[in-house]
Amino acid sequence: MKGRPFLVGMIHLPPLPGSPGNTLSLEEVVEYARSEAEKLERAGVDGVIVENLGDYPFFKDQIPSITVASMSVVVREVRRNFNLQVGVNVLRNGCVDAFSIAHVTGAHFIRCNVLVGAYVTDQGVVEGRAAELLRWKRYLNSGVKIFADVHVKHAYPLYNLPVELVAQDMAERGGADAVIVSGRRSSLPPSMEDLRKVKASVSLPVMVGSGISLENFREFCREADGLIIGERDFKERGEVGGPSKFEAYRRLVEECRAGD
């Protein structure tokens, strides 16, 4: 991930079987994910994260078996059919579930929203999963990487230390392989000050995990080790969680790569 930014597109899944808004069969969800992966691969991103964004309201961390089973099928199809680095995020904080899905499907990394500390969220108090997750990784002898949020979006930290100190704890005590810096909400980017503080405090790759737009991506491409991209500018009709907009992704990739 060093040298040029690692560009990650989002495959935001529609509501899966078992969730309140579900209307599609699992095979229809799989076809949607394949269509999204095909667009993102053509656009030139390095990787994708498969995420169950349509499953709101989310469980904190005790994820229903039907969700884990459905996501395993979807992720396997993306992994086996596309030449992309594949990540898994199970909302809200299903880090062990995401890791298990990634391990059995051959995916490359997970996003863990709360690896260390504790946060008040719309799901209640969400606590870090580092102890369980690292032991599970060791038990499986797995090479799946852990990308972890510091002061994750849509949350208020009870472990309210400065962002750079939390990042250090994640790197030194939480077992993270990469650190994700976000703004307060999905639509808001982190401050450049926070990004630089975190980069100066850890030796791990530091990614931006929210608020990337067609207006601000150039600066973040210069500063960050990676970008996670999936906000309104990169969605058809600006629809949150909707289908990816090929032209917007392609423009970002081309301009971020222009200096290679």
pLDDT at 1 over 70: no
Q: How far apart are CA 194 and CA 211, in angstroms?
A: 14
In a domain, 230, yes or no: yes
Question: Cα 20–230–38 angle (5° rounding)?
Answer: 90
| pLDDT number for residue 251 | 98
In a domain, 259, yes or no: no
Q: How far apart are CA 186 and CA 196, in angstroms?
A: 20
In a domain, 1, yes or no: no
Buried b (16+ CB within 10 A) or exposed e, 13-38: bbbbeebeebebeeeebbebbbebbe
Structure tokens at 236: 């058809």
| pLDDT number for residue 3 | 61
Q: With cut-offs at 50, 70 and 90, classify the pLDDT of residue 61.
A: very high
Contact (CB, 8 A) for 16 and 52: yes
Q: Above pLDDT 70, what percent of the chain? A: 98
In a domain, 70, yes or no: yes
User: Per DSSP, what are the bridge partners of residue 89?
Assistant: 51
3-state DSSP of 206-230: EEECCCCCCCCHHHHHHHCCEEEEC
Q: What is the mean pLDDT of residues 29-33?
A: 98
Q: Provide the domain limits for residue 91.
A: 6-254
| pLDDT number for residue 159 | 86
Digit-coded pLDDT (tens) for 191-206: 999 999 999 999 999 9
Q: How far apart are CA 78 and CA 60, in angstroms?
A: 26
In a domain, 52, yes or no: yes
CATH number for position 162: 3.20.20.70
Q: How many domains does the chain have?
A: 1
User: Of the candidates 112, 111, 130, 140, which has an alpha carbon nearest to the alpha carbon of residue 175?
Assistant: 130
Average pLDDT in the chain: 97
Digit-coded pLDDT (tens) for 110-153: 999 999 999 999 999 999 999 999 999 999 999 999 999 999 99
| pLDDT number for residue 51 | 98
User: Of the candidates 19, 136, 106, 103, which has an alpha carbon nearest to the alpha carbon of residue 67?
Assistant: 19
Question: Cα 211–147–88 angle (5° rounding)?
Answer: 85
- Cβ-based neighbours of 87, under 8 Å, separated by 6 or more: 8, 47, 48, 49, 50, 102, 107, 108, 109, 110, 111, 147
pLDDT at 260 over 70: no
In a domain, 125, yes or no: yes
Q: With cut-offs at 50, 70 and 90, classify the pLDDT of residue 4.
A: confident
Cis peptide before 92 (omega within 30 of 0): yes
Q: What is the mean pLDDT of residues 33-52?
A: 98
Q: With cut-offs at 50, 70 and 90, classify the pLDDT of residue 168.
A: very high
In a domain, 32, yes or no: yes
Is 0.85 topped by the overall pTM? yes
Q: With cut-offs at 50, 70 and 90, classify the pLDDT of residue 73.
A: very high
Digit-coded pLDDT (tens) for 74-113: 999 999 999 999 999 999 999 999 999 999 999 999 999 9
Q: With cut-offs at 50, 70 and 90, classify the pLDDT of residue 2.
A: very low
